[in-house]
């Protein structure tokens, strides 16, 4: 009998301790529906951000949860998450051609946060926005965010608060040539590596190469963009499929000329070039915005192009991109 009493006393003590621990961790106080909402947003359900897409740059956003009533005596855990089904609601209410922010452009670094005992607001949840260069120019992207869980309990989708994070993009990094035919010609070519390969959609593997016989510099490549374009500079690319250390042929000095008709040319300066970097790219920025239909890039100097054991005066370019 004594052993039975001791058994039940021990069992009751374990249950009491577990209950106390559970209460200490904040799980015994059940919160009513919609008791937790977004903090510091007042009545606004739209948070708008202007976002540049010319470069990938980390944008960090923070948000907090708050209790709608009195402070709690125990700790609560809140999890924020996107609710992509709410995009339709945004379009219905605010109109426009809004796009859903692609999943590759955001990452919740810290989606679950705590509302400490005695506090009304949580610590900050953190979401990172990136890879902006993959977004369309002059577009509106929306990421509907909601409080998805409170203390591990899924909140009612129909009634939970939604805040729309809106991102309005600016100009793209490069001039868009959609609807126009871009063509190119050159002073010479080597085999299949025609001038057109410097203005195709591939800036990494296909390329223009000047002739091996005779192999002389300078050599030029001329691009017709099909209409007058406004641009602030240009990027020159060297093919990633070629090892500049062992093969060479990368330009080190170029002269630029601009034209509206392909007949009368205006000198636009001589520039040093260095494409020996991770991106295989060199940017030439103009002091003022330029406008032209034609651009001619004349390679004045280049690293020796090595073929076998012979060094040649040959140059390679895999892309010429106009910058907005």
Q: Would you state the pLDDT for residue 42?
A: 55
* 324 residues of the chain, pLDDT tens digit each: 444 444 444 444 444 444 444 444 444 467 777 788 888 655 579 999 999 998 889 999 999 999 988 888 899 999 999 999 999 999 999 988 899 999 999 999 899 999 999 999 999 999 999 999 999 999 999 999 999 999 999 999 888 889 999 999 999 999 999 999 999 999 999 999 999 999 999 999 999 999 998 889 999 999 999 999 999 999 999 999 999 999 999 999 999 999 999 999 999 999 999 999 999 999 999 999 999 999 999 999 999 999 888 899 999 999 999 999
d(CA 49, CA 166): 6
Q: Would you state the pLDDT for residue 213?
A: 87
Query: Does the model's pTM come out above 0.75?
Result: no
Domains identified in the chain and CATH numbers? 33-171 (2.60.40.1740), 183-323 (2.60.120.260)
Q: Which of 147, 181, 143 is nearest to 39 (CA)?
A: 147
């Amino acid at each position: 009998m004594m052993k039975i009493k001791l058994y039940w006393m021990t069992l009751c003590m374990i249950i009491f301790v577990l209950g106390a621990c559970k209460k200490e961790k904040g799980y015994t106080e059940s919160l009513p529906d919609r008791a937790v909402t977004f903090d510091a947003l007042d009545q606004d359900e739209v948070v708008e951000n202007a976002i540049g897409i010319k470069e990938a740059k980390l944008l960090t956003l923070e948000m907090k949860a708050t209790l709608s009533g009195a402070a709690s005596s125990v700790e609560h855990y809140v999890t924020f998450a996107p609710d992509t089904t709410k995009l339709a609601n945004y379009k219905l209410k605010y109109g426009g051609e809004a796009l859903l922010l692609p999943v590759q452009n955001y990452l919740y670094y810290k989606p679950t946060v705590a509302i400490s005992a005695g506090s009304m607001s949580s610590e900050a949840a953190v979401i990172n926005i990136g890879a902006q260069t993959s977004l369309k120019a002059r577009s509106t992207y929306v990421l509907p965010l909601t409080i998805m869980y409170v203390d591990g309990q899924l909140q009612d989708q129909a009634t939970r608060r939604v805040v729309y994070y809106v991102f309005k993009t600016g100009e793209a990094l490069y001039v868009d040539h959609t609807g126009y035919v871009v063509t190119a010609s050159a002073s010479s070519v080597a085999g299949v590596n025609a001038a057109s390969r410097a203005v195709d959609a591939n800036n990494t593997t296909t390329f223009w190469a000047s002739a091996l016989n005779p192999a002389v510099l300078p050599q030029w490549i001329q691009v017709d963009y099909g209409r007058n374009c406004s641009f602030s500079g240009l990027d020159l690319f060297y093919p990633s499929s070629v090892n500049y250390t062992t093969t060479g042929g990368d330009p080190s000095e170029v002269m630029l000329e601009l034209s509206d008709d392909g007949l009368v040319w205006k000198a636009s300066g001589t520039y040093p070039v260095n494409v020996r970097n991770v991106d295989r790219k060199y940017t030439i920025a103009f002091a003022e915005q330029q406008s032209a239909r034609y651009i001619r890039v004349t390679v004045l100097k280049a690293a020796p192009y090595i073929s076998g054991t012979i060094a040649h005066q040959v140059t390679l370019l895999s892309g010429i991109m106009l910058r907005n």
